[in-house]
């Protein structure tokens, strides 16, 4: 499976959609869309399909080249999914838990700074 075909598949699965769903919303025939995800695909992906994914927060740079994160925010800025998860977790912690997480993160940051100074 080519890498762009694999990324189309990954993006569709991330959105929880079927090939038929994507095809309908992107304005292409389901059989045509199925060919875009086929390992033997030689077709260019049409703008309507790319626009469909872009409207749902899929990073076009990632979809086309594989570079950067898969997801971007509404302003088009790539999102860091791990940072989003940390923010979600921090939101449910009590104050003491938040302080513990912050202390650990600050310690890790200091270690990284020292490593850069020693190496660089």
pLDDT tens digits, residue range 45-95?
A: 899 999 999 989 898 989 988 888 888 766 655 566 666 677 677 778 888
Token digits for 24? 């309908």
Predicted pLDDT at 28:
96
- Dihedral sign, Cα of residue 34, residue 39, residue 43, residue 44: positive
**Cα–chain center distance at 116:** 29
Q: In the predicted model, is pLDDT for residue 114 greater than 60?
A: yes
Model pTM above 0.85? no
* Whether 88 contacts 94, CB under 8 Å: no
- Every domain of the chain and the residues it spans: 3-65, 81-119
Predicted pLDDT at 1:
43
Domain 3-65 belongs in CATH node 1.10.260.40: yes
Q: What angle is formed at CA 64 by the lines to CA 47 and CA 71, rounded to 5 degrees?
A: 95
């Amino acid at each position: 499976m080519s890498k762009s075909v694999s990324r189309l598949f990954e993006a569709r699965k991330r959105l929880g959609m079927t090939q038929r769903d994507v095809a309908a919303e992107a304005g292409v025939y389901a059989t045509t869309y199925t060919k875009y995800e086929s390992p033997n695909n030689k077709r260019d992906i049409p703008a309507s399909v790319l626009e469909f994914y872009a409207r749902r927060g899929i990073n076009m740079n990632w979809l086309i080249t594989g570079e950067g994160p898969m997801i971007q925010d509404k302003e088009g800025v790539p999102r860091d999914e791990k940072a989003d998860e940390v923010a979600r977790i921090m939101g449910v912690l009590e104050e003491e838990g938040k302080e513990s997480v912050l202390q650990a993160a600050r310690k890790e940051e200091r270690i990284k700074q020292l490593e850069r100074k020693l190496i660089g």
